[in-house]
Structure 1
């Protein structure tokens, strides 16, 4: 069965660019994705990060919705630990009213920034909104209008589908428990055994589609793609306070530990799992993963931040799919019940 291709955009900003230019690059990429037949386009959330231009996906989504026609748009995802679940429900009901049938709500567990920005977002009492599981249940309650005395208005004609983004079976279990869709973050945890374990669990427990986020580097040939992929790095930091986070550099990891006021248990460079090659080679690898794990949709993360490269990568992958006559069918993704 065919699979869908979608895009995750972190709104990268080059050192020589203004934030306005970076966001214009995002708009150009979204329009290109729509023309090339990608199914959805998600905006990530990051804070206090000069190299990324989107701390508020909701605002970017409203802007993109006004300048696209058919592309599904969503957050990939809202960093729920920082916010009132009621306000999140209001924001996405409003977006769904503005762009009926085109809005997705994706929620993530990560902080989306260093401890200093987390404290600024949450006040001086991090975790004041309760556990993540409780927050997720609260968002669900407001979106499903379970409390007639407190509605997240405006009430849209089509409620936004809900997605939990996670890199573990525990996250998949939580998504299943609250009746949400799940996206396995293989771009953060590309371990084949974990991918097999989580996808098998998900398919045994639910009829909902299997969605997987992957990092992709596409160039004119495999040698060029491998050289670009080799420049990527991720550092896994484990702190004495129990936090485990992935960061873009060892310097950023040291800063995180200092701001968290916690000792470092371990700091290890991880070589991220990247699918690299020409458009045809990358597409063939996606076909293999689709067949092996019964993946219904790939959320494509393009980690190379040069805007021209990102447009070329998106175009090359779409051309490879078209050449293979591998066009997506229409899967049903529910916004409410399993």
Structure 2
């Protein structure tokens, strides 16, 4: 089984976004050393707790300080942008780091409504155009004209021999259906939605239409994981993520990932405890034995040979240790 990483550049309480981005680079370098297959980074806006806003820029920095691990976006929120400009960004990355770049695309806003409006200068966001935008992006990446547009003859530069593969990212049946129709690789975000994923992936596999990019289905599942030397330690560390997700659900302001010492002392109401239990369905928490068994189970359930791991902790060393332990299992 191949293991990959999705990193969201989490900012710990009391630390800065600059430190978080340095931690992302440190993790990418160690992930390459530990044998991880891909290292993807996310896009979030108007957030004090997640520092990654522009994947293409951060990928360029990481590419300059690594040599072999595949790099990608998990993902670029395409409805905010022009497919032409996104194609230029990823062709530039491909020119700089040939055969190492993945162009992961999503349709979610990646932030609250005011950030969406700020990105579009107050204009409505048309997420329903996402399928058409994917078509346009593919044609720009391949250097194919788009005759239905008066400007469709423009060529996204630089010109490269190998356009980076486009992945569809999602947490719903519609994203799986779109990836199958377009014949594109698909990543299901179990860390966002713990319901229906196996059914959506099954639809993707059974309805996949071969394309110029892919002759057969290619997919993976992304899940939150916190691994430590013992089950008890892992659950203590993961209490930070429990509290973070609860605060997000309640619309509370977030100023970074809280210290587990603080999170473990939080007095949860019965309702909040039920929400923590529900959110844990999106996570794998435990020592090496539990985590290994559950990762293998996820791969089996999702009919995949690749699992993407996302780990958020207060302490960067805990995050590194989690990924190191996982790499030692496989």
Q: TM-score range by the shorter chain?
A: 0.7 to 0.9
Question: Counterparts of 1:183-332 in structure 2 under 5 Å?
Answer: 183-191=187-195, 194-206=196-208, 207-233=216-242, 248-252=248-252, 269=275, 270-272=278-280, 273-321=282-330
Give the superposed CA RMSD. Answer: 2.4
Question: Aligned pair count?
Answer: 296
Instruction: Tell me the SS of whatever aligns to 1:133.
Output: helix
Instruction: Tell me the SS of whatever aligns to 2:251.
Output: helix
Quick check: 2:240–2:313 contact (8 Å CA) kept in 1?
no
Quick check: 2:179–2:204 contact (8 Å CA) kept in 1?
no
Question: Counterparts of 1:1-338 in structure 2 under 5 Å?
Answer: 3-127=1-125, 131-147=129-145, 149-191=153-195, 194-206=196-208, 207-233=216-242, 248-252=248-252, 269=275, 270-272=278-280, 273-321=282-330
CA displacement at 1:209 relative to structure 2: 2.1
Unaligned runs of 5+ in 2: 147-152, 209-215, 254-273
What is the TM-score normalised by the length of structure 2?
0.83
What is the TM-score normalised by the length of structure 1?
0.81
Unaligned runs of 5+ in 1: 237-245, 254-267, 322-338
Instruction: Tell me the SS of whatever aligns to 1:124.
Output: coil
Q: 1:128 to 1:109 in 2, by over 3 A?
A: closer
CA displacement at 1:247 relative to structure 2: 7.9
Instruction: Tell me the SS of whatever aligns to 2:241.
Output: coil
CA displacement at 1:157 relative to structure 2: 2.0
CA displacement at 1:305 relative to structure 2: 4.0
Instruction: Tell me the SS of whatever aligns to 1:271.
Output: helix
Instruction: Tell me the SS of whatever aligns to 1:216.
Output: strand
Quick check: 2:2–2:307 contact (8 Å CA) kept in 1?
yes
Separation of aligned partners in 2, 1:274 and 1:169? 20
